[in-house]
Amino acid sequence: MSERRALVVGATGLTGRNTADHLARTGWQVTGVSRKQGMDTDGVRNVSADISDPVSIAAVAQEVGATHVFYCTWSRQETEARNIEVNGAMLRNVLETTGRTGTLEHVCLVTGLKHYLGPFEAYAQNPAQPPFHESQPRLAHENFYYTQEDILWEAAERFGFTWSVHRPHTVIGYTLGNAMNMGVTLAVYGTLARETGSPFVFPGSPEQYDGTTDITDARLLAEHLAWAATTPAAANEAFNVTNGDTFHWRQMWEVVAAGLGVEPAPYPGQPTPLEHRMGDAAAVWRRIADREALIEPDIDRLVSWWHTDSDLGRTVETHAAMTKSRDAGFSRSQDSSRSFLDLFDHLRAQRVIPAGVNET
């Protein structure tokens, strides 16, 4: 096997961190790019660069000479028009600079199921019908995912590399300081409920509580990215990436509660958004962190109340078909209950939540 040199863009994020870790453990030469302090994973070389600055990322691209790029980042903006402008420019900078090296063989672009649901400002307004299939047409809304795909396809034709687009659902896995991290958010929520005696109530919509949904384990997504990057049958294709099972939050909420050592409260029949209920959470969390010697006393570096509310507050069912990946040869699956329980165990081991939070 020739040397595979991976450039993981967004290596401190939820997807990027797990991807870089998986690649390093399976023999790749891995460089992780981020604007923040790098991750502490063995085998991953960390580089600081600003991908919104072509000069900054060009220096990294030339030095690394990547054979494979894993694009695992985005920047949330106030409007979808700005999302298109900013996120399109960042991807274009990465592809232009890595494409010019002449070493690039494949690019994996991570987007998501908003491809089928629409952007935040038109979220779940006339969405596609689940289960989502990759062959379904684009929605009639501006969407930066669509812009990124167009940029990717144009660059691939010009520079001669292959590509794959990966559309995960809500990603569950370990990282800190991520703006879209429901698993860690729920772990903090359960810890706060245990501390204060407040009800651990499912905060989302009746449609999510009783409807069919799925999630994506960050570890499975990392495997899917590595598979697509090195499998001819996956070249120049878009794929959904989910665990391969489905569930109702009615049952999963009991699993999550048990994993965090709290009692699940009766569902009130309507959404009770976390963002409106957690006004005093920062002070309570700092008290817990000081008492339990946790590694992060700043709750804002752990939770994403707004994103979890958005995810769990949908008024439509959301689940994606994995048939296309299966037909192309990707056979891995992941039990979704274990996605949550494994994450909670890891958070305890890393002293992110108290070690005894699951004791009864």
Q: In terms of DSSP H, where are the helices of 160-261?
A: 182-196, 206-210, 218-230, 249-260
**What is the per-residue pLDDT across 140-168, written as a single tens digit (0 to 9) for each?**
999 999 999 999 999 999 999 999 999 99
Amino acid at 172: I
How confident is residue 26, by pLDDT bands cut at 50, 70 and 90?
very high
State the CB neighbour count (10 A cutoff) for residue 142. 16
**What is the per-residue pLDDT across 349-359, written as a single tens digit (0 to 9) for each?**
999 999 975 44
How confident is residue 41, by pLDDT bands cut at 50, 70 and 90?
confident
Backbone angles phi, psi at 224, to 5 degrees: -65, -40
Q: Is the pLDDT of residue 223 over 90?
A: yes
* 145 among known catalytic residues: yes
Integer angstrom CA distances of residue 121 from 82, 143, 317: 12, 10, 18
Q: Which of 114, 116, 189, 209 is catalytic?
A: 114
Q: Is the pLDDT of residue 360 over 60?
A: no
pLDDT at res. 358: 46
**313 or 39, which is more confident:** 313
Q: Which of 71, 145, 174, 189 is catalytic?
A: 145
Q: How far apart are CA 269 and CA 133, in angstroms?
A: 31
Q: Hey, is 166 helix, strand or coil? A: strand
Token representation of residue 359 = 């004791």
**What is the per-residue pLDDT across 276-311, written as a single tens digit (0 to 9) for each?**
999 899 999 999 999 999 999 999 999 999 999 999
To the nearest 10 degrees (0 to 180), the angle between helices 14-25 and 218-230 is 60
Q: DSSP character for 133?
A: -
* 116 among known catalytic residues: no
Backbone angles phi, psi at 157, to 5 degrees: -70, -35
Integer angstrom CA distances of residue 244 from 205, 228, 231, 239: 23, 17, 20, 13
Q: Is the pLDDT of residue 312 over 70?
A: yes
The pLDDT of 321-334, averaged and rounded, is 98
Q: Is the pLDDT of residue 20 over 70?
A: yes
Q: Hey, is 68 helix, strand or coil? A: strand
Q: Report the chain's mean pLDDT, rounded to a whole number.
A: 95
Q: Which pTM does this prediction carry?
A: 0.96
Q: How far apart are CA 353 and CA 343, in angstroms?
A: 11
